[in-house]
Structure 1
Amino acid sequence: MEARYSFLQTRSFHMDMDASRLCRWKVCSLGGHNFMLRNLLWATSKHDVYLMQNYSVMHWSSLLRRGKEVLNAAKPIIPTLKHSGLAHPVSRVQISTMTVKENLMVAGGFHGELICKNLNHSGVAFCSKITPDDNAITNAVDVSRNPSGLLRVIAANNDSQVRVFNAENFASLGCFKYDWSVNNASVSPDGKLLAVLGDSTEGLIADANTGKVTGSLKGHLDYSFASAWHPDGQILATGNQDTTCRLWDIRNLSESLAVLKGRMGAIRALRFTSDGRFLAMAEPADFVHIFDSHSGYSQSQEIDLFGEIAGISFSPDTEALFVGVADRTYGSLLEFTRKRYYHYLDSML
């Protein structure tokens, strides 16, 4: 652990952050794969972070100052859920994306694998190669409840399909086919809508239960790789190869509300805080941007670091932002803590 240090900040922007390096860690091995699609970091509290280290998913505790292996994907994995006809053993899975929600850790692989583990139970509940296409990388995974409360796992793959599973028994709830490789899919907070983005300048809004397209997002100039829903469900953020993030009002998709620009590269990861106040936007390397929604996204803070960015995640209490750096030499997990400004009356009559 290194000493805490501070970045220069814009004083008027209240997401000013102090930074500390939690650990020196090779977050992932880049190899020759398309690293740019990965989201390999997730915070479930300001003290608990899950991230990739080579073929392992690790849990880092900032309180205990140590990490613990949660999943070893290099070894053969045998699913404990025997009665699922879709479940099959997998081995030596190079993880391409992951999420941790509702005590469920879900990871996707470069050859179309899907792995689901309940963090409260030993073993892996479900694993399988969900597509016969060896090049159908699992680009994105999500965990969401439908309007009736059923927990679902969503996987988006390079074979142009989005697959939905029941998170209890991993029965298939649907397989939605689109016209291009799907790089990202995310479900709205109310569980009703599905944002579908991929190898097209146009994004789609679909019914999360049927996959039927209900709207389109037109404005980006290149392929899209990231999305994030504002907690109120009315604003969707999309990240694109054209180096911009666009904000869309889901009630009127005729044009985007705003265009947020990066510094140099494509926008590969987007995250809102749980209260919707801030939006974090990550480029493939070196830059993370934070925008204040209360200012209409006009006020922002740029974090300039060094190395490939493996993922970003806010803590649920909004007090911390974690950034995974996947550089072979300087790989590490960074924590940025929110600065608070308190104003007191000088006197009271």
Structure 2
Amino acid sequence: MQNYSVVHWSSLLQRGQEVVNVARSVTPTLKISEPLSRVQVSSMAVKENLILLGGFDGELLCKCVNQPGVAFCTRVTTEDNAITNTVDTYQSPSGSLRLITANNDCKIRVFDAQSFTRVSEFSFRWSVNNTSVSPDGKLLAVLGDSTECLISDSQSGKVVSSLQGHKDFSFASAWHPNGLILATGNQDMTCRLWDIRNPSESFAVLKGNMGAIRGLKFTTDGRFLAMAEPADFVHIFDTQSGFLKSQEIDLFGEIAGISFSPDAEALYVGVADRTYGSLMEYKRRSDNHYMDSFF
């Protein structure tokens, strides 16, 4: 993803192909939504055969991977500085596929992925920089311009827990596949780990080198946690060691995002540096000791 373009990179063929370009006006294929002018992409997610894009002016766009064009697009808010900070999909407790957005206008919005109708809207006291949904679809982690992180009910929006410990604003979160551990990344240069069964205090604090923690991802098997700083450093922690064993990847450039492959065999790091912009791929090392390997 870069400004107005989304490119699919094939690790097998070692080449990329543009799949979405929103540098000009966007006309959706579904008549239930209205065209948008040029969209500068601020956030992205790819899940369940859907590509979701958020924009700097509060836009939400949805493209089906196997269909041409953008299926649905809308501006979820018209307020100034209402950047769409997070877009994602999840399965609701009833089994329905949902789309979720978090915006600077202090709101989280939930859409039905079939009809693209808005089904929920939750308001908070501060700008929401990030939200993530627990694996069972029942809980929302809500982070933003506050030292506290909230756990809310995904259907009612009611706050059920307040996580206290960070010293600045938060920007990233990730749920362990077991649904019991939540990782939160903050501008205080730390990632805190919480057991949601005992949310009164974090059970571990992982520290960065020089900047805020802007990206967090667990592997699908829950074995590793990747933690990205704004530039130069990505840290990988072994969850089976109680997050005590780690590996540091020292690269050059601003980090646009991180992601593991579905089989947990590769880590991808997007570098947004104007000169050295690239997508870096790291393979998991086996050495005949698969369960003890690092990247």
Deviation string, structure 1 residues 132-187 (Cα, Å, up to 9, x no partner): 11310000111001012100000000000000000111111101000000000110
Give the unaligned 5+ runs of structure 1. 1-51, 344-349
Percent identity over the alignment? 70
Equivalent pair of 2:2/2:41 in contact (CA under 8 Å): no
Alignment of 1:74 onto 2:20: no
Cα distance, 1:53 vs. partner? Answer: 2.8
**CA distance in 2 between partners of 1:131 and 1:203 (Å):** 23
State the Cα distance separating 1:270 from its structure 2 match. 0.1
Q: Structure 1: which amino acid aligns with 2:4?
A: Y
Regions of 4+ moved over 6 Å:
none
Aligned to 1:55: 4
Higher Cα Rg: structure 1 or 2?
Answer: 1
Distance across 1 between alignment mates of 2:18 and 2:97: 25
| Residue equivalent to 2:55 | 109
1:295 is aligned to 2:241: yes
Provide the residue aligned with 1:146 in structure 2: 92
TM-score by length of 2: 0.96
Q: CA deviation at 1:200?
A: 0.2
Structure 2: gaps spanning 5 or more residues: 290-295
Cα deviation per residue 1:101-141 (whole Å; 9 max; x = unaligned)?
Answer: 00100010001000011111112111011101131000011
AA in 2 matched with 1:163? R
Say whether the 8 Å CA contact 1:81–1:169 is kept in structure 2: no
Where does 1:330-345 land on structure 2 (aligned, <5 Å)? 330-342=276-288
Matches within 5 A, 1:11-50: none
What RMSD in Å do the two structures reach over aligned CA positions?
0.9
Paired residues of 1:88 and 1:129 also in contact (CA < 8 A):
no
Name the SS of the counterpart of 1:280 in structure 2: strand
Counterpart AA for 2:92: N
Matched-pair contact (CA < 8 Å) for 2:232–2:255:
yes
Partner of 1:172: 118
Q: 2:72 — aligned with what?
A: 126
Greater RCO structure (CA 8 Å; 6+ sep)? 1
Question: What count of residue pairs does the alignment treat as equivalent?
Answer: 289
- Which amino acid counterpart does residue 158 of structure 1 have in structure 2? N
Within-5 A mapping of 1:1-349 = 52-82=1-31, 84=32, 87-342=33-288
TM-score (norm 1): 0.82
